[in-house]
Structure 1
Protein backbone atom coordinates (compact mmCIF):
# COMPACT_ATOMS: atom_id res chain seq x y z
CA UNK A 1 0.00 0.00 0.00
CA UNK A 2 1.40 3.38 -1.01
CA UNK A 3 1.82 6.10 1.58
CA UNK A 4 3.56 9.43 2.05
CA UNK A 5 5.00 11.09 5.12
CA UNK A 6 4.11 14.76 5.54
CA UNK A 7 4.72 17.43 8.16
CA UNK A 8 1.72 19.70 8.65
CA UNK A 9 1.27 22.99 10.49
CA UNK A 10 -1.48 23.29 13.08
CA UNK A 11 -5.01 23.49 11.73
CA UNK A 12 -8.17 25.11 13.08
CA UNK A 13 -11.23 22.87 12.97
CA UNK A 14 -14.86 23.32 13.91
CA UNK A 15 -17.55 20.71 14.18
CA UNK A 16 -19.02 18.40 16.76
CA UNK A 17 -17.52 15.76 19.02
CA UNK A 18 -18.90 12.77 20.89
CA UNK A 19 -17.50 10.19 23.29
CA UNK A 20 -17.75 6.66 21.94
CA UNK A 21 -16.08 3.27 21.71
CA UNK A 22 -15.86 0.80 18.86
CA UNK A 23 -18.50 -1.31 20.63
CA UNK A 24 -20.79 1.71 21.05
CA UNK A 25 -20.09 3.37 17.70
CA UNK A 26 -21.78 6.78 17.40
CA UNK A 27 -20.15 7.87 14.14
CA UNK A 28 -23.44 8.19 12.25
CA UNK A 29 -24.94 10.21 15.11
CA UNK A 30 -22.19 12.85 15.02
CA UNK A 31 -22.31 13.19 11.22
CA UNK A 32 -26.11 13.52 11.24
CA UNK A 33 -25.68 16.44 13.64
CA UNK A 34 -22.87 18.08 11.63
CA UNK A 35 -23.92 17.79 7.97
CA UNK A 36 -27.19 19.78 8.11
CA UNK A 37 -25.23 22.78 9.46
CA UNK A 38 -22.31 22.60 7.01
CA UNK A 39 -23.75 25.32 4.76
CA UNK A 40 -23.58 27.79 7.68
CA UNK A 41 -19.77 27.68 7.65
CA UNK A 42 -18.53 30.48 5.41
CA UNK A 43 -14.79 30.52 6.18
CA UNK A 44 -13.83 26.92 5.39
CA UNK A 45 -10.36 26.43 3.87
CA UNK A 46 -11.72 23.72 1.56
CA UNK A 47 -14.68 21.38 1.18
CA UNK A 48 -12.71 18.45 2.68
CA UNK A 49 -14.24 16.99 5.84
CA UNK A 50 -12.42 15.51 8.83
CA UNK A 51 -13.49 12.32 10.58
CA UNK A 52 -11.15 12.66 13.54
CA UNK A 53 -10.36 10.53 16.59
CA UNK A 54 -8.66 11.67 19.81
CA UNK A 55 -7.51 8.50 21.55
CA UNK A 56 -6.34 8.20 25.16
CA UNK A 57 -2.63 7.51 25.78
CA UNK A 58 -1.70 3.89 25.05
CA UNK A 59 -4.97 3.25 23.20
CA UNK A 60 -3.27 0.89 20.76
CA UNK A 61 -0.90 -0.67 23.31
CA UNK A 62 -3.77 -1.59 25.61
CA UNK A 63 -6.39 -1.98 22.91
CA UNK A 64 -9.96 -2.85 23.84
CA UNK A 65 -13.04 -2.23 21.70
CA UNK A 66 -14.70 -0.96 24.90
CA UNK A 67 -12.18 1.87 25.46
CA UNK A 68 -13.76 5.26 24.87
CA UNK A 69 -12.30 8.03 22.73
CA UNK A 70 -13.51 11.31 21.27
CA UNK A 71 -14.84 11.26 17.71
CA UNK A 72 -15.17 14.45 15.65
CA UNK A 73 -17.02 15.42 12.49
CA UNK A 74 -15.29 18.64 11.42
CA UNK A 75 -14.02 20.98 8.74
CA UNK A 76 -10.92 23.16 8.60
CA UNK A 77 -11.52 26.89 8.82
CA UNK A 78 -9.34 29.96 8.30
CA UNK A 79 -10.01 31.45 11.74
CA UNK A 80 -12.26 30.83 14.71
CA UNK A 81 -13.81 34.31 14.50
CA UNK A 82 -17.30 34.35 12.99
CA UNK A 83 -17.91 30.67 13.76
CA UNK A 84 -21.64 29.90 13.74
CA UNK A 85 -23.09 29.47 17.21
CA UNK A 86 -23.04 25.99 18.68
CA UNK A 87 -20.00 24.60 16.90
CA UNK A 88 -17.09 23.23 18.93
CA UNK A 89 -13.52 24.37 18.22
CA UNK A 90 -10.42 22.23 17.98
CA UNK A 91 -6.82 23.02 17.18
CA UNK A 92 -5.16 20.12 15.41
CA UNK A 93 -1.50 20.28 16.48
CA UNK A 94 1.30 20.43 13.95
CA UNK A 95 3.33 17.30 13.35
CA UNK A 96 4.33 14.43 11.13
CA UNK A 97 1.75 12.08 9.60
CA UNK A 98 1.83 8.95 7.48
CA UNK A 99 -0.91 9.36 4.88
CA UNK A 100 -2.51 6.34 3.22
CA UNK A 101 -5.05 6.34 0.40
CA UNK A 102 -7.95 4.02 1.14
CA UNK A 103 -10.51 2.88 -1.41
CA UNK A 104 -13.52 0.87 -0.35
CA UNK A 105 -16.37 0.50 2.10
CA UNK A 106 -16.37 0.05 5.89
CA UNK A 107 -15.45 -3.64 5.69
CA UNK A 108 -12.44 -2.81 3.50
CA UNK A 109 -11.48 0.03 5.88
CA UNK A 110 -10.99 -2.50 8.71
CA UNK A 111 -8.55 -4.44 6.50
CA UNK A 112 -6.66 -1.26 5.61
CA UNK A 113 -6.41 -0.27 9.28
CA UNK A 114 -5.17 -3.77 10.19
CA UNK A 115 -2.44 -3.42 7.57
CA UNK A 116 -1.41 0.06 8.75
CA UNK A 117 -1.26 -0.71 12.47
CA UNK A 118 -0.41 -4.42 12.32
CA UNK A 119 2.10 -4.57 9.47
CA UNK A 120 3.24 -1.18 8.22
CA UNK A 121 3.76 0.63 11.54
CA UNK A 122 5.81 -2.08 13.32
CA UNK A 123 8.14 -2.30 10.29
CA UNK A 124 8.27 1.41 9.39
CA UNK A 125 10.87 2.77 11.80
CA UNK A 126 8.19 5.14 13.14
CA UNK A 127 6.03 4.96 16.21
CA UNK A 128 2.61 6.44 16.92
CA UNK A 129 2.59 9.96 18.24
CA UNK A 130 -0.02 11.05 20.78
CA UNK A 131 -1.97 13.38 18.49
CA UNK A 132 -5.33 13.02 16.75
CA UNK A 133 -5.78 10.45 13.98
CA UNK A 134 -8.08 11.43 11.13
CA UNK A 135 -9.57 10.55 7.80
CA UNK A 136 -9.77 13.30 5.21
CA UNK A 137 -12.94 13.00 3.16
CA UNK A 138 -12.49 14.81 -0.14
CA UNK A 139 -14.18 14.87 -3.54
CA UNK A 140 -13.77 11.11 -4.06
CA UNK A 141 -15.48 10.19 -0.79
CA UNK A 142 -18.79 8.59 -1.80
CA UNK A 143 -20.00 7.34 1.59
CA UNK A 144 -18.87 4.60 3.95
CA UNK A 145 -20.83 1.82 2.23
CA UNK A 146 -19.71 2.56 -1.33
CA UNK A 147 -16.92 0.22 -2.54
CA UNK A 148 -15.64 2.97 -4.87
CA UNK A 149 -15.33 5.55 -2.08
CA UNK A 150 -11.87 7.02 -1.44
CA UNK A 151 -10.39 8.78 1.59
CA UNK A 152 -7.03 9.57 3.10
CA UNK A 153 -6.07 7.99 6.42
CA UNK A 154 -3.74 10.25 8.46
CA UNK A 155 -1.74 8.48 11.20
CA UNK A 156 0.35 10.65 13.60
CA UNK A 157 3.94 9.41 13.75
CA UNK A 158 7.28 10.33 15.25
Structure 2
Protein backbone atom coordinates (compact mmCIF):
# COMPACT_ATOMS: atom_id res chain seq x y z
CA UNK A 1 0.00 0.00 0.00
CA UNK A 2 1.92 2.95 -1.32
CA UNK A 3 0.60 6.47 -0.67
CA UNK A 4 0.37 9.38 -3.06
CA UNK A 5 2.60 12.25 -1.96
CA UNK A 6 0.41 15.33 -2.41
CA UNK A 7 0.87 19.07 -2.01
CA UNK A 8 -2.10 20.21 0.05
CA UNK A 9 -3.63 23.65 -0.38
CA UNK A 10 -5.01 25.39 2.70
CA UNK A 11 -8.62 24.57 3.56
CA UNK A 12 -11.12 26.28 5.83
CA UNK A 13 -13.13 23.90 8.00
CA UNK A 14 -16.21 24.28 10.21
CA UNK A 15 -17.39 21.56 12.55
CA UNK A 16 -17.49 20.18 16.05
CA UNK A 17 -14.49 19.19 18.15
CA UNK A 18 -13.82 17.30 21.36
CA UNK A 19 -10.73 16.38 23.37
CA UNK A 20 -10.03 12.66 23.49
CA UNK A 21 -7.19 10.16 23.69
CA UNK A 22 -6.46 6.79 22.12
CA UNK A 23 -6.75 4.87 25.42
CA UNK A 24 -10.49 5.61 25.59
CA UNK A 25 -11.06 6.58 21.94
CA UNK A 26 -14.74 6.87 21.08
CA UNK A 27 -15.63 9.37 18.33
CA UNK A 28 -19.23 8.09 17.98
CA UNK A 29 -20.83 10.72 20.28
CA UNK A 30 -19.04 13.50 18.36
CA UNK A 31 -20.38 12.17 15.04
CA UNK A 32 -23.86 11.78 16.54
CA UNK A 33 -23.75 15.40 17.67
CA UNK A 34 -22.45 16.76 14.35
CA UNK A 35 -24.39 14.86 11.69
CA UNK A 36 -27.89 16.21 12.47
CA UNK A 37 -26.41 19.74 12.58
CA UNK A 38 -24.22 19.72 9.44
CA UNK A 39 -27.07 21.21 7.39
CA UNK A 40 -26.66 24.39 9.49
CA UNK A 41 -23.35 25.02 7.71
CA UNK A 42 -24.60 27.09 4.78
CA UNK A 43 -21.31 27.63 2.94
CA UNK A 44 -20.05 24.04 2.63
CA UNK A 45 -18.04 23.35 -0.52
CA UNK A 46 -19.05 19.68 -0.89
CA UNK A 47 -20.70 16.80 0.92
CA UNK A 48 -17.31 15.31 1.87
CA UNK A 49 -16.83 14.88 5.61
CA UNK A 50 -13.51 15.51 7.36
CA UNK A 51 -12.50 13.43 10.37
CA UNK A 52 -9.58 15.42 11.79
CA UNK A 53 -7.05 14.79 14.54
CA UNK A 54 -5.07 17.78 15.79
CA UNK A 55 -2.12 16.70 17.95
CA UNK A 56 0.24 18.70 20.13
CA UNK A 57 3.76 19.09 18.78
CA UNK A 58 5.82 15.95 19.41
CA UNK A 59 2.77 13.73 19.94
CA UNK A 60 4.16 10.91 17.78
CA UNK A 61 7.76 11.09 19.03
CA UNK A 62 6.62 10.41 22.61
CA UNK A 63 3.44 8.48 21.92
CA UNK A 64 1.30 7.76 24.96
CA UNK A 65 -2.28 6.52 24.44
CA UNK A 66 -3.44 8.69 27.35
CA UNK A 67 -2.23 11.95 25.78
CA UNK A 68 -5.17 14.07 24.69
CA UNK A 69 -5.70 15.54 21.23
CA UNK A 70 -8.54 17.36 19.49
CA UNK A 71 -10.86 15.28 17.36
CA UNK A 72 -12.90 17.19 14.77
CA UNK A 73 -15.85 16.22 12.58
CA UNK A 74 -16.28 18.88 9.93
CA UNK A 75 -16.84 20.05 6.37
CA UNK A 76 -14.83 22.35 4.13
CA UNK A 77 -16.29 25.84 3.69
CA UNK A 78 -15.71 28.89 1.52
CA UNK A 79 -15.27 31.26 4.49
CA UNK A 80 -15.90 31.74 8.19
CA UNK A 81 -18.76 34.25 7.81
CA UNK A 82 -21.50 32.00 9.21
CA UNK A 83 -20.30 29.66 11.96
CA UNK A 84 -23.29 27.96 13.64
CA UNK A 85 -23.55 28.29 17.42
CA UNK A 86 -21.56 25.59 19.19
CA UNK A 87 -19.35 24.89 16.18
CA UNK A 88 -15.75 25.92 15.58
CA UNK A 89 -13.50 26.92 12.70
CA UNK A 90 -10.10 25.55 11.73
CA UNK A 91 -7.62 26.30 8.97
CA UNK A 92 -5.66 23.30 7.74
CA UNK A 93 -2.46 24.91 6.39
CA UNK A 94 -0.57 24.20 3.18
CA UNK A 95 1.90 21.35 3.23
CA UNK A 96 2.83 17.90 1.99
CA UNK A 97 0.72 14.87 2.82
CA UNK A 98 1.03 11.14 2.32
CA UNK A 99 -2.42 10.06 1.14
CA UNK A 100 -3.40 6.44 1.71
CA UNK A 101 -6.49 4.88 0.18
CA UNK A 102 -8.33 2.76 2.74
CA UNK A 103 -11.02 0.26 1.80
CA UNK A 104 -12.97 -1.69 4.38
CA UNK A 105 -15.46 -1.62 7.22
CA UNK A 106 -12.99 -0.15 9.72
CA UNK A 107 -12.36 -3.39 11.61
CA UNK A 108 -8.70 -3.39 10.55
CA UNK A 109 -8.15 0.39 10.83
CA UNK A 110 -5.82 0.07 13.84
CA UNK A 111 -3.54 -2.30 11.89
CA UNK A 112 -3.66 0.02 8.88
CA UNK A 113 -2.52 3.02 10.96
CA UNK A 114 0.10 0.87 12.70
CA UNK A 115 1.54 0.02 9.27
CA UNK A 116 1.68 3.73 8.37
CA UNK A 117 3.44 4.84 11.56
CA UNK A 118 5.61 1.81 12.34
CA UNK A 119 6.55 0.63 8.84
CA UNK A 120 5.91 3.08 6.03
CA UNK A 121 7.06 6.34 7.69
CA UNK A 122 10.26 4.93 9.28
CA UNK A 123 11.23 3.36 5.93
CA UNK A 124 10.37 6.45 3.85
CA UNK A 125 12.20 9.72 3.21
CA UNK A 126 9.70 11.51 5.46
CA UNK A 127 8.80 12.22 9.07
CA UNK A 128 5.39 13.15 10.45
CA UNK A 129 4.85 16.91 10.42
CA UNK A 130 3.03 18.88 13.12
CA UNK A 131 -0.14 19.71 11.20
CA UNK A 132 -3.62 18.19 11.34
CA UNK A 133 -4.08 14.55 10.29
CA UNK A 134 -7.40 13.75 8.66
CA UNK A 135 -9.56 11.34 6.74
CA UNK A 136 -11.83 12.43 3.92
CA UNK A 137 -15.08 10.52 3.84
CA UNK A 138 -16.42 11.12 0.35
CA UNK A 139 -19.15 9.63 -1.79
CA UNK A 140 -17.60 6.12 -1.63
CA UNK A 141 -17.67 6.10 2.18
CA UNK A 142 -20.30 3.74 3.62
CA UNK A 143 -20.05 3.37 7.40
CA UNK A 144 -19.43 -0.23 8.41
CA UNK A 145 -19.51 -1.57 4.84
CA UNK A 146 -16.59 -3.76 3.62
CA UNK A 147 -16.69 -1.87 0.29
CA UNK A 148 -16.41 1.53 1.99
CA UNK A 149 -13.56 3.77 0.79
CA UNK A 150 -11.87 6.81 2.33
CA UNK A 151 -8.62 8.74 2.09
CA UNK A 152 -6.20 8.97 5.01
CA UNK A 153 -4.06 12.14 4.95
CA UNK A 154 -0.87 12.12 7.05
CA UNK A 155 1.16 15.38 7.18
CA UNK A 156 4.80 14.82 6.23
CA UNK A 157 8.08 16.63 5.64
CA UNK A 158 11.46 15.43 4.45
CA UNK A 159 13.79 13.86 7.03
Between Structure 1 and Structure 2, how many residues are aligned? 157
Q: Does 1:134 align with 2:108?
A: no
- Report the counterpart of residue 116 of structure 1 in structure 2: 116
Q: Structure 1: give runs of 5+ residues left out of the alignment.
A: none
How far did residue 108 of structure 1 move?
A: 1.4
| TM-score (ref. length: structure 2) | 0.94
Q: Distance in 2 between matches of 1:146 and 1:59?
A: 31
Q: Distance in 1 between matches of 2:45 and 2:73?
A: 15
Q: Distance in 1 between matches of 2:61 and 2:121?
A: 13
Q: Does 1:95 align with 2:92?
A: no
Q: Does 1:39 align with 2:39?
A: yes
Query: Conserved in 1, the CA contact under 8 Å of 2:15 and 2:88?
Result: yes
Q: Deviations over 1:8-63 (max 9, x none)?
A: 12110000110001122231111111100111222111111100001122212211
Query: Conserved in 1, the CA contact under 8 Å of 2:14 and 2:41?
Result: no
- Report the counterpart of residue 58 of structure 2 in structure 1: 58
- Report the counterpart of residue 78 of structure 1 in structure 2: 78
Q: Distance in 1 between matches of 2:119 and 2:26?
A: 28
How far did residue 86 of structure 1 move?
A: 2.6
- Report the counterpart of residue 153 of structure 1 in structure 2: 152
Q: Distance in 2 between matches of 1:49 and 1:117?
A: 23
Q: Distance in 2 between matches of 1:47 and 1:140?
A: 11
Query: Is the partner of 2:96 in helix, strand or coil?
Result: strand
Q: What's the Cα RMSD here?
A: 1.2
Q: Structure 2: give runs of 5+ residues left out of the alignment.
A: none
Please state which structure has a larger fraction of its residues in helix. Answer: 1
Q: Distance in 2 between matches of 1:49 and 1:74?
A: 6
Moved segments of 4+, more than 6 Å: none
